[in-house]
Structure 1
Amino acid sequence: MIYSFCGQDLMGECSRRDLPIERLKSVVMWNISTLRPIVFGMSPYNPVLGETHHVSNGHINVLTEQVSHHPPVSALHATHENENIDVTWCQYFTPKFRGAYVDVEVKGRRIMNLLNRKETYEMDQPRLVVRFLPAPGAHWTGKIKIKCPETDLEAELHLISDSLIERFKGNNNRSIKGKISQTSSGDKLYDISGHWDRTVMAKNLKTGEVEVIYNAKESISGLKPPTVKNLKEVMETESAMVWSEVSEKILKKDWEKAREAKKGVEDKQRESLKQREASGESWVPKHFSVVRNGKDWDCKPLQPAVPRAPLVITEAQGDIIN
């Protein structure tokens, strides 16, 4: 999730902090807030080519687009109106089969620009492990690095695997460890520890002071679905529109009808592909420019800022405009 809940503007805090070290800690906090526990099982929704999600939450406007289907590549652009923050995010996957599990490398550039501060924060993403034996499950693991060249500061986070070996070592499920350092000297300034789905703490190595920098319950509890403010402005490619019939049948627990509706969405995509191939037409994303270099992808938004969306989260719920 790119946006915040319960009145906490985690993205805005990244720019509001006065000291560079405090801004980096806020970026770390925001980055951790985007993690969610993985529910293992069959997913009824496979994003289709050109599918979008355009939503606003407070001063944050977010636009995502599925810019490739084979392989699946998603692009995201988010802007904060008040704090002049710009986030771009390109995400794709490289799975490697390891017998009893699949190790998925989550690739792509994630960049936060604090335009008022003239600072850029570059972030990579953790790996996803999908396990089949001895019991099915999925979890995040691996390293996340956050670096800001302008402030000469960086953070390195390690999501500890919840394998049986790690649990035997005393590393509890969804634990996180890391550090904040000065890039040029390598001097470590803070130790980071905790659980990314609960609380994360930072210890100042100079003063010994320990502070809670992230509390999941306070930051992401009370999740609410978006409300349609203007139905006429909702794009046909909006996820809620594409999968509306599937969602309706799932809520009614009519699994057979849900499968039929999903097949209808997929058949429509296949027919569109056949028509493009027959006419020699290439599909082009509407909201992002996409560059592919071998197996690597890069996505850049076509517009400098994301406009207000017809779907909103935190604003007062009013009547739907037809």
Structure 2
Amino acid sequence: MASNANGGFFSAISNRISSIRSWSSATVSSMLGGVEGLEVINPEGGQEDAESEALKGRFKQEDRESYWKMMHKYIGSDVTSMVTLPVLIFEPMTMLQRMAELMEYAHLLDLADQCEDPYLRMVYASCWAISVYYAYERPWKPFNPILGETYEMVNHSGITFLAEQVSHHPPMSSGHAENEHFTYDITSKLKTKFLGNSVDVYPVGRTRVVLKKSGVVLDLVPPPTKVHNLIFGRTWIDSPGDYVVTNLTTGDKVILYFQPCGWFGSGRYEVDGYVYNKDEEPKLLLTGKWNSFMSYQPCDSEGEPLAGSELKEVWRVADVPKNDKFQYTHFAHKINSFDTAPNGLLPSDSRLRPDRYALEKGEMSKAGSEKSRMEDKQRAEKKVRESRSEKFTPKWFTLTEDVSTTPWGDLEIYEFNGKYAEHRAKVEAESSGDRVDQTGITFNPWQYDDSSVQAAAE
């Protein structure tokens, strides 16, 4: 959590979380498949033998050593798009669809827009930002979008959502969502660091939310994420660090500290922080767990709860399906269905990907071959562009001259260009209004036709 060297009210905050920051993790002292010293922890709190826990990864015992030999050369590298990963670690969803999962609890943004109290408004907005972490806890990897791939979502709380893969190297996605209460815009460029049996994920991105009633503009900066036990052990995800939500209009700010997972899962999921005014005075404290609930309470200038006040719950995770294969929420299933697709779905939509659909049906071999086929075609299209000295141009987002500085590197900004609204109005005008079957649409994010790509290959 951020601190002030001049002391004052921040000293109370420092004392409050000093114990939180002291944490450590268990390690494996024995040799596992020829690899020593790999971090293994049971984040659910059981005290099982570390070596036994380490053997519960996704890979069969005979596959671990060969996969480790393939991957160990990438230690310390950004592996966002340079490594071809086996389909068995994927879930039947793309990164663009995962971006849309943030809309599940968008009613919190509606409440923020309607709220007159500027500090409670920040509570609603920050709890909305945290709400997606339950879904992001899934250890399965989403598919990397093909360049030009899109994802559209309607029929959820009056929200229209569109995301597009705007760059392949580096991998970048842009998204826009809107309803009567807010607009949401994001440019995202993930950066990773492979550490052997784990990978650090740095959210190099810019996220802006505009609340329409007040005109307030919010900026969101999440903490990095660490994926543990990629090969050996049970895969689990943690996001230790600060989540900062800044009101760029007033200067108010929320700083939430995500406690790292300690020994045998101690402290995992816990979140504590404050809403500060523009003078950096704490006004409300927030506490909870990012996988279940968040509450707030008025506090004094030292960050202590006001006498006679009580915690009030703002958000609680919705019920989830039992024994779901991919640990999906009901909303995740909704995102994957055509129920949230508009008529005249873009043929570049993630739902139409043959590898994603095959994996959803459990056809692993077909999913793997389709994934390889599309990746080959994407590389072939790159050769065509280079041979013609052409650049890829996104359809629905435009590269601006703005460059955003993030804690993990600079970021080029894409903005929603408004062409999608024109497209959607045209589609609606030409349709009868009846829902049509869209499952037969062929996935097509491609820039060139097959003959151009084949000619380049020859």
TM-score for the superposition, normalised by structure 2: 0.60
1: CA distance between counterparts of 2:243 and 2:425? 31
Give, in angstroms, the shift of residue 17 of structure 1.
Answer: 1.3
Q: In the alignment, which of 274, 290, 298 is matched to residue 196 of structure 1?
A: 290
**1:222 maps to 2:330:** yes
Q: Deviations over 1:277-309 (max 9, x none)?
A: 111111011111224858422121111986769
Structure 2 counterparts to residues 76-95 of structure 1, below 5 A: 76-80=175-179, 82-83=180-181, 85-95=182-192
2: CA distance between counterparts of 1:12 and 1:306? 22
Report if the CA contact (8 A) 2:163-2:174 is conserved: yes
Corresponding residue number in structure 1 for 2:103: 3
Q: In the alignment, which of 253, 264, 271 is matched to residue 154 of structure 1?
A: 253
Report if the CA contact (8 A) 1:90-1:110 is conserved: yes
Give, in angstroms, the shift of residue 236 of structure 1.
Answer: 1.6
Corresponding residue number in structure 1 for 2:151: 53
**Number of equivalenced pairs:** 304
Corresponding residue number in structure 2 for 1:122: 219
**1:145 maps to 2:244:** yes
Give, in angstroms, the shift of residue 88 of structure 1.
Answer: 0.7
Report if the CA contact (8 A) 1:229-1:319 is conserved: no
CA gap of 1:95–1:54, structure 2 versus 1, over 3 A, is same
1: CA distance between counterparts of 2:375 and 2:350? 14
CA gap of 1:135–1:248, structure 2 versus 1, over 3 A, is closer
Bigger shift: residues 107-116 or 130-139: 130-139
Corresponding residue number in structure 1 for 2:115: 17
Bigger shift: residues 245-254 or 215-224: 215-224
Report if the CA contact (8 A) 2:206-2:220 is conserved: yes
1: CA distance between counterparts of 2:118 and 2:290? 23
TM-score for the superposition, normalised by structure 1: 0.83
Matched letter for residue 239 of structure 1? S
Report if the CA contact (8 A) 2:271-2:288 is conserved: yes
1: CA distance between counterparts of 2:425 and 2:132? 21
Q: In the alignment, which of 361, 366, 370 is matched to residue 257 of structure 1?
A: 366
1: CA distance between counterparts of 2:341 and 2:163? 19
Corresponding residue number in structure 1 for 2:89: none
Give, in angstroms, the shift of residue 249 of structure 1.
Answer: 2.3
CA gap of 1:268–1:138, structure 2 versus 1, over 3 A, is same
Give, in angstroms, the shift of residue 119 of structure 1.
Answer: 0.9
CA gap of 1:257–1:149, structure 2 versus 1, over 3 A, is closer
Report if the CA contact (8 A) 2:191-2:202 is conserved: yes
**1:320 maps to 2:441:** no
2: CA distance between counterparts of 1:150 and 1:251? 44
Give, in angstroms, the shift of residue 72 of structure 1.
Answer: 1.0
Corresponding residue number in structure 2 for 1:302: 417
Corresponding residue number in structure 1 for 2:59: none
Q: In the alignment, which of 385, 391, 394 is matched to residue 285 of structure 1?
A: 394
1: CA distance between counterparts of 2:360 and 2:411? 38
CA gap of 1:232–1:111, structure 2 versus 1, over 3 A, is closer
1: CA distance between counterparts of 2:152 and 2:342? 13
Bigger shift: residues 220-229 or 97-106: 220-229
Q: For the aligned residues, what is the CA RMSD?
A: 3.0
Secondary structure of 2:377's aligned partner: helix
Report if the CA contact (8 A) 2:175-2:186 is conserved: yes
- Structure 1 or 2, whichever has the larger Rg, is 2
Report if the CA contact (8 A) 2:127-2:315 is conserved: yes
Give, in angstroms, the shift of residue 238 of structure 1.
Answer: 0.8
Q: Percent identity?
A: 21
2: CA distance between counterparts of 1:153 and 1:178? 14
Secondary structure of 2:330's aligned partner: coil
Matched letter for residue 233 of structure 1? G
Bigger shift: residues 195-204 or 143-152: 143-152
Structure 2 counterparts to residues 168-187 of structure 1, below 5 A: 170-171=266-267, 173-184=268-279, 186-187=280-281
CA gap of 1:269–1:156, structure 2 versus 1, over 3 A, is same
Report if the CA contact (8 A) 1:78-1:306 is conserved: no
Secondary structure of 1:116's aligned partner: coil
CA gap of 1:304–1:268, structure 2 versus 1, over 3 A, is closer
Q: Decide which structure has greater strand share.
A: 1
